[in-house]
A = this chain, B = another copy of it.
Amino acid sequence: MQSLEELPTPSVLVDLDVLGRNIAGMQERARSAGVKLRPHAKTHKSPEVGRMQIAAGASGLTLAKTSEAEVFAAHGFEDIFLGYPIVGADKARRLLALADRIRLAVGVDSVEGARSLGDVFHAAGRRLDVRLKIDSGFLRVGVEPEIAAAMALRIAELPGIAFAGVFTHAGHGYSGRTPDEVAKTGSEEGRIVVEAAQAVRAAGLFVEDVSLGSTPNVRAAMIVSGVTECRPGTYVYNDRSQVALGSANAEDCAMTVLATVVSAPARDRAVVDAGSKTLSSDPMRPNADGYGRIVGGQSRVARVSEEHGVIAVAAGESFRVGQRVRILPNHACAVSNLHDRLVAIRGGAVEGQILVAARGCVQ
């Protein structure tokens, strides 16, 4: 069996034991809360990991882009929700082909967007399941909760559209909040989407699913009465930001980056062969603080160029040229998207590869 010492650097490692625990743990949490778990597969973009989630009891997968759904459908996944406002006739034609093969639903947040999809489905004598995106405070996409019912009615009457539910993301759990605040806002966001669902039901529409996402807020949100589904993604691998947000501990982090020190030009500065092409340049959440932490110490990657990670060496630590280190990255999803394959490890030995089959699927 190959050892870590034989791997070329940089390599992205995934510890299968930790991964398995994370998948089982979130599934158990969802079961005990009585909600469906539909993990966001953007974190891994890998059919192998998605199959582990389905095998553990996930009801289906969440993805964002049409091309991602095409990859996962080609790998045998049968129930996909695209939690993203898909727009345009060209995308609609691809969704129509997908809907022939799998159970598919997509997000919408505008009449124009929904119509661009519905027209294509209607012309084919079909209806597309859509869920209305609610903005629970992130100020990105989604309608304000106050207009959810009116917007749902307008979308539901479009030809080729079947209204199926409401969902929210609540990504503001990632910014500028303490772990306690994140826990509190999770329940707040749950309340917002449940109230929006009630308003839509009061307007006469059937709302099958009331769905809500994101690893930081999901524990607090999934226990809000009326929530039927949750869509966390990052929990499979976890990362430095999840630890800072209090939604994971260091031992829950399955993904690390194996790197080599290639330069040590000053006592307080060393440089590894993993930069933004390996770690991404995504900032740490909730507060920016470099691009990764060296596992087993206090030093961190303070800045990145494409192929350089500049370590600010913590007091009492030192690095020598040729030394190998493992780095906990800020954002696991962004790291997955940079690599065609990750290295699966268990107990310090290499077990195989994880293919990131849907890497780079942006269309």
A317 in contact (CB, < 8 A): no
Question: Which listed residue, B6, B142, B273, B362, touches A265 by the CB 8 Å rule?
Answer: B142
Which residues between 235 and 294 of chain A lie within 8 Å of chain B, taking CB atoms? 260-266, 269, 271, 273-274, 276-278, 280-283
Contacts of A135 in B (CB 8 A): 265
Known A-B contacts A90-B8, A265-B135, A281-B280; A305 and B140 likewise in contact (beta carbons under 8 Å): yes
* CB 8 Å contact bits of A317-352 with B (1 = contact, 0 = none): 000111000000000011001111000000000000
How many copies of this chain does the complex contain? 2
A222 in contact (CB, < 8 A): no
A44 in contact (CB, < 8 A): no
Contacts of A85 in B (CB 8 A): 262-263, 271
A141 in contact (CB, < 8 A): yes
In the complex, the chain B residue whose C-beta lies closest to that of A169 is B305
A81 in contact (CB, < 8 A): no
A226 in contact (CB, < 8 A): no
* CB 8 Å contact bits of A284-319 with B (1 = contact, 0 = none): 000000000000000000000111101000000000
User: A354 vs B88: C-alpha distance in the bound complex, in angstroms?
Assistant: 25
Please tell me the number of chain A residues within 8 Å of chain B, measured between CB atoms: 63
User: A65 vs B333: C-alpha distance in the bound complex, in angstroms?
Assistant: 24
User: A334 vs B304: C-alpha distance in the bound complex, in angstroms?
Assistant: 12
A88, B260: Cβ atoms closer than 8 Å: yes
A217 in contact (CB, < 8 A): no
A42 in contact (CB, < 8 A): yes
**19 interchain pairs, CB-CB under 8 A:** A9-B363, A10-B362, A11-B363, A85-B263, A85-B271, A87-B273, A88-B322, A110-B263, A113-B262, A113-B263, A116-B322, A139-B310, A140-B271, A140-B308, A141-B265, A141-B271, A274-B362, A281-B282, A340-B360
Known: A87-B273, A142-B265, A276-B280. 18 other contacts (CB 8 A): A6-B90, A8-B90, A64-B307, A85-B263, A87-B321, A109-B263, A110-B263, A110-B264, A112-B321, A139-B266, A139-B269, A139-B310, A140-B308, A140-B310, A276-B334, A277-B362, A281-B283, A307-B362
Across the A-B interface, give the 10 residue pairs with the lowest CB-CB distance, nearest first: A141-B263, A112-B321, A8-B363, A64-B307, A87-B262, A85-B262, A110-B321, A85-B263, A278-B362, A281-B281
